[in-house]
């Protein structure tokens, strides 16, 4: 029974790859927005293997992008032989973005896609998948206005499907990367986006992840203070000793980055810093 299930899964993945290859050929030459997460890295890998020199990868850096994501992009680009450009998109120069309204993502993606369009001629493509269409994502409006195409969506590929494709492509640990939205998504809607605070978010999540071995960690900056959200495994590892030590370390780290407020721990809730309009 397991062998049959595995065979069916492999067939589904192979069919999805074939659909994606057809979409990518229709997009050639293309410019791939590579954030450093599993979605965009998988798309970039397949685009390169399908289109060769007609696929050009661009990675934007800012205080909202974890250094680990940039390192991951550079490492895979070197391993796979991508054409890669790393640039700044300029969203931190936009007061509308820094104000952190409910549609902050619209301003972020507008700057991103405008920067990509100026980097290289070609069809802009993103790693958006079908699961993303079920959420409020103003960045998709920015993409639509600029004619960005989403090959995973066009090929009917979900998050689980693209993870299976990543495994089929031999991308190793990338296939199992946890979801990793930009660091600005950790700041409660309406609180200003500040680069030092995002530095704290990244450092805090790294500290907690390394200490507890948690798969999913979110450091939320709220009006009420700092909330560390953990997956069930992380919460189970958070005994009294770890809680005390982490609270002390995180409080010190927060002050070093100009972040104020008490530190609390809670169960992970997707998008909990976002206050809907």
Per-residue pLDDT tens over the stretch 238-277:
999 999 999 999 999 999 999 999 999 999 998 877 776 5
Query: What's the CA gap between 180 and 150, in Å, rounded?
Result: 18
Instruction: Tally the domains of the chain.
Output: 2
The CATH number given to whatever domain includes residue 254 is: 3.30.70
The tens digit of pLDDT for each residue in 165-191 reads 999 999 989 999 988 889 999 999 999
The tokens of 211 are what?
A: 């200490």
Instruction: Find the domain containing 74 and state its range.
Output: 2-176
pLDDT at 4: 30
Residue 223 belongs to some domain of the structure: yes
Backbone angles phi, psi at 58, to 5 degrees: -130, 130
| Same domain, residue pair 32 and 151 | yes
pTM: 0.91
Collapsed DSSP state (helix, strand, coil) of residue 83: coil
For the chain, state the CA radius of gyration. Answer: 19
Q: Is 160 buried (19+), middle (13-18) or exposed (0-12) by CB count in 10 A?
A: exposed
The tens digit of pLDDT for each residue in 86-141 reads 999 999 999 999 999 999 999 999 999 999 999 889 999 999 999 999 877 899 99
Side-chain-side CA neighbours of residue 155 (13 Å) = 31
| Same domain, residue pair 134 and 243 | no
| Same domain, residue pair 163 and 189 | no
| Same domain, residue pair 236 and 172 | no
| Same domain, residue pair 145 and 198 | no
């Amino acid at each position: 029974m397991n062998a049959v299930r595995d065979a069916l899964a492999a067939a589904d993945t192979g069919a999805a790859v074939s659909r994606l290859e057809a979409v990518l050929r229709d997009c050639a030459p293309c410019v791939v927005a590579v954030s450093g997460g599993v979605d965009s890295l998988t798309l970039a890998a397949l685009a390169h293997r399908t289109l060769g020199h007609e696929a050009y990868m661009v990675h934007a850096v800012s205080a909202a992008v974890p250094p680990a994501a940039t390192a991951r992009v550079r490492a895979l680009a070197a391993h796979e032989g991508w054409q890669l450009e790393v640039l700044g998109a300029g969203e931190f120069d936009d007061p509308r973005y820094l104000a952190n309204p409910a549609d902050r993502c619209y301003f972020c993606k507008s700057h991103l896609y405008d920067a990509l369009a100026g980097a290289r001629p070609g069809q802009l493509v993103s790693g958006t998948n079908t699961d993303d269409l079920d959420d409020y994502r103003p960045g998709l409006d920015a993409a639509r206005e600029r004619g960005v195409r989403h090959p995973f969506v066009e090929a009917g590929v979900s998050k689980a499907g693209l993870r299976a494709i990543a495994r089929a492509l031999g991308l190793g640990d990338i296939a199992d990367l946890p979801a990793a939205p930009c660091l600005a998504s950790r700041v409660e809607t309406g609180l200003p986006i500040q680069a030092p605070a995002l530095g704290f978010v990244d450092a805090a999540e790294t500290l907690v992840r390394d200490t507890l071995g948690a798969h999913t960690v979110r450091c939320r900056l709220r009006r009420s203070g700092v909330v560390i959200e953990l997956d069930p495994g992380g919460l189970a590892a958070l005994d009294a000793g770890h809680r005390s030590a982490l609270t002390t370390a995180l409080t010190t780290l927060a002050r070093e980055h100009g972040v104020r407020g008490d530190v609390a721990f809670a169960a992970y809730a997707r998008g909990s810093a976002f206050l809907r309009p």
